[in-house]
Amino acid sequence: MFKKIRFTPSSIAAAFLFTFALAVLAQTPPLEKTPATTAATVRFIGCQSDGQVGPLEAPKGDSKVVQIATQATQQLAYYKAEQGFGVLAPRGWHCFGTYGSSGSSLYVSPQPLNATIVFSDNWKGFTGPVIQISTEIGDTSGRFGVARTIARVFPSHKAFVRDVIANGFAQANDFPFGPYPNDQLIYKSKEIVEYQTPAQTDGLGTQSRLQKNADPIRGVAILVGSNPDLVFLAARLPPDKTDLASIIIRQAELDSAQSKN
């Protein structure tokens, strides 16, 4: 003999809420997992460079230990010239560095690079995939580049820009204040900002040797030291490698942090 069950208003409400919760959970997509990172070694690639005192041979180095998503280990190498910072970039690419009293730059591209290309008066910059990492020194002629980026994205350091203008070697209108209208900015601190410059748009990403094209540019701008100096990364990757951009940016941030120590 079956026992009769009496439903009260409270029990009916509880059953309804439970059923509703199950329905919501069934329609909610799972959270995207952040790729796990671990200390791993990637191949070191030395890069030739040229600049103020002439050509420099590619440095020799051991494998680079980086914090990297395990699935990306076989896709990346660490490229570095004699002067300046190194950078993670896809394996099998070509690299070349420049340097001088204002700072240094390293370019890594799927196309061959050399001094004839980079220093040519007819060369306007990169139109395809490339990674550039540059250092501009704040107490040399590099201060103009530092000031230009500070004016755009580092409002707490405006005094540096005013000092550069006050020295009489630049005009105030050379340093527009405020971010580019279409740039997407993520501030990690008052001295670190990650950015994305959309396709076919002038922005922080085109304050480099990268010309605008149909693909966005991602990167990071970092102020280092009391001068300050600027570490600037601009990366435009092929469609099948865009997932590597976050890893490349993160390593640039880690390298700049280690340079302070």
- For 193-243, what is each residue's pLDDT tens digit? 999 999 999 999 999 999 999 999 999 999 999 999 999 999 999 999 999
Q: Is 118 within 8 Å of 126 (Cβ atoms)?
A: no
CA–CA distance, 30 with 26 (Å, rounded to integer): 10
Q: Is 231 within 8 Å of 252 (Cβ atoms)?
A: yes
Percent of the chain with pLDDT over 70: 85
pLDDT at 182 over 70: yes
Closest CA to 157 of 189, 180, 182: 189
Residue-level pLDDT at 175: 96
CA–CA distance, 230 with 207 (Å, rounded to integer): 13
- Type of residue found at 50: D
CA–CA distance, 111 with 81 (Å, rounded to integer): 17
* Section 153-180 average pLDDT: 94
* Residue 74, token pair as written in the block: 């076989």
∠ CA 221-34-253, nearest 5°, is: 20
CA–CA distance, 93 with 76 (Å, rounded to integer): 10
Task: Give how far Cα 230 sits from Cα of 7, 85, 102, 196, Å.
Answer: 70, 11, 11, 18
Q: 74 versus 154: which is more confidently predicted?
A: 154
Q: Sorting pLDDT into bands at 50, 70 and 90, what band is 122?
A: very high
Which contiguous run of DSSP H or E holds residue 251?
A: helix 245-259
Residue-level pLDDT at 261: 63
How much of the chain is helix, strand and coil, in % rounded to 5?
30, 30, 40
Q: What is the pTM of this model?
A: 0.84
- The domains of the chain are located at 37-259
Helical ranges in 128-239 per DSSP H? 143-153, 158-166
Q: Sorting pLDDT into bands at 50, 70 and 90, what band is 178?
A: very high
Residue-level pLDDT at 128: 97
